Amino acid sequence: DTAVSQTPKYLVTQMGNDKSIKCEQNLGHDTMYWYKQDSKKFLKIMFSYNNKELIINETVPNRFSPKSPDKAHLNLHINSLELGDSAVYFCASSPGVVLNTEAFFGQGTRLTVV
């Protein structure tokens, strides 16, 4: 069983479209994240939820909206897609407020905006 799974793995879409990426974790973790990895492999946190509550919201355009229906799911919805949104998006989870624990990552969603 995949611990953190995200779908789709690849997403090609036109500028201006609205798309969603789904993420689910079966680890029983309280905290989930979205990271963006650019073409130079740099990882930047976008959002974090703890028990369905938004706790980290970095400087991200408001076209990006996370939604957490329950603590096992954190979906990312993107409105009015732009060319600069092309990247690999990683979902991750961690136990949350437990010290010294690592984050577990999904396989990534490669988004290409054309």
Partner 1 sequence: GNSVTQMEGPVTLSEEAFLTINCTYTATGYPSLFWYVQYPGEGLQLLLKATKADDKGSNKGFEATYRKETTSFHLEKGSVQVSDSAVYFCALSDEDNFNKFYFGSGTKLNVKP
- Which residue type sits at 106? G
Taking the least distance from each CB to partner 1, the nearer of 15 and 56 is 56
Which tokens hold the place of 108?
């990534």
Closest CB 67 distance from partner 1, rounded Å: 18
Alpha-carbon Rg for the chain, nearest whole angstrom, is: 13
Helix, strand, or coil (residue 85)? helix
CA angle 9, 63, 4 (to 5 degrees): 30
Q: How far is the CB of 79 from partner 1 (least distance, A)?
A: 25
DSSP letter at 83? Answer: G
Smallest separation, CB 100 to partner 1 (Å) = 4
Tokens of 17: 């479209």
Residues making contact with partner 1 (CB under 8 A): 4, 31, 33, 35, 40-43, 45, 48, 50, 55-56, 90, 92, 94, 96-108
